[in-house]
Amino acid sequence: MVLLEQGEVSQELVGFAGEVSMMLEDTSELGDARAVAREFLVSLRAVPGLPVSQQAFGMVQLVVTELVTNARKYAPGPCLMTLEVCEDDVAVSVWDSCPSLPLILPADPARVGQHGLEIVTAVCRSFEIHREPVGKRIKAVVALTDDPVGRQVL
């Protein structure tokens, strides 16, 4: 994976596989990250045979918001967000420089704040945290179609 300059976007869409990456250096770029996610999903909707539900459209943006917010809030330096389509899923991956792994707190309706990863794990098909040689990478996979078993997701 190639590191990009601040605000630079790399996108490649070939058939059913596509990827977009963005490096973010401060919290003011969170809106830009969501915009990149929206544009990426719109481009996927143009691929014949690749359905992107309205629910997926919202869930991917929610996951981007939560993961990028945490990376910018808790890790020094830039973070790298990557969106990649694989078959009927979008993987949202965020790398940051902090080696500390985040805690996913148990549900507590009385707690104010710190529900981001709780929400992400609830709406994603899979969720992974990996230590990297520098920092960590968090990957959340969102289904592009509505949940086939009818489970209600937010």
pLDDT in tens, 106-146: 777 787 777 788 889 989 999 999 999 999 999 999 999 98
Pairing of strands 17-24, 9-14: antiparallel
Of 10-14, 30-34, 122-126, 133-137, least confident by mean pLDDT is 10-14
Domain CATH for 92: 3.30.565.10
Residue 148 has a pLDDT of 53
Q: Is residue 152 part of a domain?
A: no
Query: Does residue 2 belong to any structural domain of this protein?
Result: no
Is the confidence at residue 151, as pLDDT, over 60?
no
Is there a domain that residue 90 lies in?
yes
E strands, the chain, are: 9-14, 17-24, 79-86, 89-96, 126-131, 136-143
Number of domains the chain is built from: 1
Q: Residue 13 belongs to what domain range?
A: 9-143
Taking 3-state DSSP, the helix, strand and coil percentages for the chain, each rounded to the nearest 5, stand at 30, 30, 40
Query: Do 138 and 116 form a contact (C-beta atoms < 8 A)?
Result: no
Strands lying side by side in the sheet with 126-131:
9-14, 17-24, 79-86, 89-96, 136-143, 126-131
Q: Is 150 within the bounds of a domain? A: no
**69 pLDDT above the threshold of 50:** yes
Predicted pLDDT at 147: 58
Asked if the structure places residue 4 within a domain, the reply is: no
- Tell me whether residue 103 is in a domain: yes
| 62-66, 67-71, 106-110: range with lowest mean pLDDT | 106-110
Q: Tell me what pLDDT residue 110 has.
A: 80
Residue 109 in any domain: the answer is: yes
In a domain, 20, yes or no: yes
- Higher pLDDT: 140 or 88? It is 140
